[in-house]
Structure formats: C-alpha cells, structure tokens
Amino acid sequence: MTETTKTPKKTPAQTSRATREIHAVIGAGQVGTLLARELAAAGHEVRLVRRGPAGPTIAGVTWLRGDVLDAAFIDDACRGAVAVYNCTNPPDYARWDGVLQPLYRAVWAAAARAGARLVQLDNLYMYGRPATSPFDESTPEQPCSSKGELRRALAEELLAMHRRGEIEAVIGRASDYFGPQTPNAAVFRPDVLATIRKGGTAYIFGDPDMPHGYTYTPDVARGLAILGRDPRAPGRVWHLPTAAKLTTREAIARFAAVAGTTVRVRGIPGWALRGLGLFSSLMAALAEMNYQFTIPYVLDDGDFCRTFGVAPTPLDEAITATLTDVETPEAAAA
C-alpha cells in the first residue's frame, strides 16, 4: 500500500502572506514614506527604497538602501512587484537638468523589466501660466520655465512608452503640499507653521490674495495608491484630490482659526527673490517658479474624485493634523 503524504493546510496568516501583493516605492521623502504606510496598512508587502540609511520600523515595510542608477539593485527592488511608484526627486532644487532624466528612466526601465505598473508622482510645472483657473488635465501644457519644460518632456516620454506597450504607466499630479511630516513645502513650511501656532507674521512667496491650490500629503499618498491598483487608472494624467482651493491669505487664516491665533501675512516680492538669486542658486530657482503665486493657480481634481469615488480630506481635519504634527527624524532627513 502506497503511503500518501497530505499537504498541511495553510493557516489564515500563511495564506495572507502568500497572496499579498508586492509594491515598490522608490524614494522615501515626504510623500514616499506616507505612501509606503498607506500601502502597508492596506495589507500589501511594501519595499521602500532610499539612498540613505533606513528610517524607523514600519509594519509591513522593508527598507532597501541603494543607488537607483545601479541596475542590479533597482531590479531587485522591483522584482515581483505589481506596482512601482516613482517618488524620487533630486535633493538640489536648483539642479534638475541632467539629474532628473537618468533617475526617472532608471526607475521606469526597472518597472518595465519587472512587468509592474509604473505610477509617477508629478507636479504642475508643465502647465506654465494656465489661461483659466481651475485647470484640469486637458489644459494645454505650455511651460514657461526650464523646470516646467523638463517635466513636460519627461511626462510625454513616459506616456509614449505606455502607448507603445513598453510599460503600463500612469501619472498623478499634485499642487503645492501641506501636511504632517512635510517639511519641504513651499508655503506651509516649518517656520510658517511655527508662526501660525504662536501667532505673528508669516512671510510667503508671491501675492497672498491670489487663489492657489494646496494638496494634503496624505491625500497624495492615498491617490497614488489608488492609481497603483485601479484598472481604470493607466495611460493618462490624473490630478490628485486637493483639500485647499483658497487664496493663500484665506488658507493661512483657516490655519490660524484652528490654532486659535492671529497671523499677519506678508508677501515676499519677486524682485527680492530675483535679487537673492544673484547670490544663491536655490533662490534663483525659486524666483523662476514664483509666477505660480502671482496668478490664479488652482487645479481641478474633479475627474479623479468622480472616477474613483473619493474626496480630499476635509480641510479643517487636514489642518488639525498638520498643526499637531511633530516633525520626525525621517521627515527631516528626507
């Protein structure tokens, strides 16, 4: 009589581990880390890639340290993933050309070799000075800056790859950020938040009375996670849910009301930025992009919200979370 060996039944925990999807997040800055947490909380296995040392332990997240331009390393990071999220950005805001292109292409190529969907985090620079506001994804891309031209060219390159069948790709665009663990914000920087908490005078770029869109970083993370899995997402650009669509003065007043303080707002004139730019490459780069704060500049996120049945976080809830956040070492180092 032949002896039959029965295969032991898997426990629920073992079954869960066996069927969990792998998601690779490239870039562990203020969006990438939030995205990794979001994906892990949804039950996925997440690899979080950064060039520097690993951050704090996050349940369900494996930190990987290495150089994205090392093909062997990035292939290992992406192998087996259903989605790869490119949240990388050069640390030097003044120097993108010649740095951004090889960085992005290395991530895209690895995602293609892995057969994974590529989700690209993007901004609004390629639209230049939109003729109307709010502006949606159909708005002509007419960049008026070198950074905008570079972003336009890269987005076109990625979508062309998708059309040729070389990769499955989708782009999620957000406006200027605010939120917990978001130190690299254009307006709601740590110094401005400190002023709001105690009261005083906040100094911001451009005209504080121009309407402007501000996207809450946890909404960026949630939006990218949707783009990574929903079958309706690939092949196009999406504007991510954006919580604040006010003038900057009104937005700061909402923050102050939640904080129970009074804040005066002063705009830093463009000529001052340009003058500082003579001595600082960072100030020169900021001066180049300052036009966004001198015209109405509000994105329309309606297509994303209607298609996927989501909405941005209620503004006062987002403000409360931002004001009560204490910057962590991982955010400061990102």
**pLDDT, tens only, 105-164:** 999 999 999 999 999 999 999 999 999 999 999 999 999 999 999 999 999 999 999 999
User: In this predicted model, what pLDDT tens digit does every residue of 291-312 receive, in sequence order?
Assistant: 999 999 999 999 999 999 999 9
Taking the model in full, what pTM does it have?
0.90
256-271 b/e (C-beta count within 10 Å ≥ 16 → b): bebbeeebebebbebe
d(C-alpha 58, C-alpha 61), whole Å:
5
182-202 b/e (C-beta count within 10 Å ≥ 16 → b): bbebbbbbeebbebbbeeeeb
Q: Judging by beta carbons within 10 Å of its beta carbon (0-12, 13-18, 19+), is residue 250 exposed, middle or buried?
A: middle
What pLDDT shows up at residue 43?
96
Which domains are delineated in the chain?
A: 20-333 (3.40.50.720)
- 166: part of which helix (H) or strand (E)? none
Would you state the structure tokens that stand for residue 134, as one six-digit string?
Answer: 């709010």
Q: Which residue has the higher pLDDT, 210 or 287?
A: 210
User: In this predicted model, what pLDDT tens digit does every residue of 239-273 receive, in sequence order?
Assistant: 999 999 999 999 999 999 999 999 999 987 776 76
d(C-alpha 104, C-alpha 115), whole Å:
17
279-290 b/e (C-beta count within 10 Å ≥ 16 → b): eeeebebbbbbb
d(C-alpha 131, C-alpha 153), whole Å:
21
Assign 12 to helix, strand or coil: helix
User: In this predicted model, what pLDDT tens digit does every residue of 76-97 receive, in sequence order?
Assistant: 999 999 999 999 988 888 889 9
d(C-alpha 114, C-alpha 108), whole Å:
10
Q: Which residue has the higher pLDDT, 8 or 172?
A: 172
Pairing of strands 61-65, 83-86: unpaired
What pLDDT shows up at residue 19?
56
User: In this predicted model, what pLDDT tens digit does every residue of 3-49 receive, in sequence order?
Assistant: 333 333 433 333 334 458 999 999 999 999 999 999 999 999 999 99
Would you state the structure tokens that stand for residue 121, as one six-digit string?
Answer: 């985090």
- 60: part of which helix (H) or strand (E)? none
The pLDDT > 90 percentage for the chain reads 79
Other CB atoms within 10 Å distance of the CB of residue 1: 3
What pLDDT shows up at residue 91?
83
What pLDDT shows up at residue 2?
32
d(C-alpha 329, C-alpha 325), whole Å:
12
Q: DSSP for 17-43, please give it.
A: HHHPPEEEEE--STTHHHHHHHHHHTT
What's at 99, amino acid-wise? V
Pairing of strands 45-50, 61-65: parallel
Quick one: three-class SS letters along 219-272? HHHHHHHHHHHCCCCCCCEEECCCCEEEEHHHHHHHHHHHHCCCEEEEEECHHH
What pLDDT shows up at residue 11?
36
d(C-alpha 211, C-alpha 246), whole Å:
5
Residue 329 has pLDDT above 70, yes or no: no
Give the CA distances from residue 234 to residues 151, 161, 170, in Å, rounded to whole numbers and listed in that order: 19, 12, 5
What pLDDT shows up at residue 271?
65
Q: How many residues does the structure list for the chain?
A: 334
> In 45-163, at which residue ranges do the beta strands (DSSP E only) sit?
45-50, 61-65, 83-86, 117-122
Residue 216 has pLDDT above 70, yes or no: yes
Identify the DSSP state of 75. Answer: H
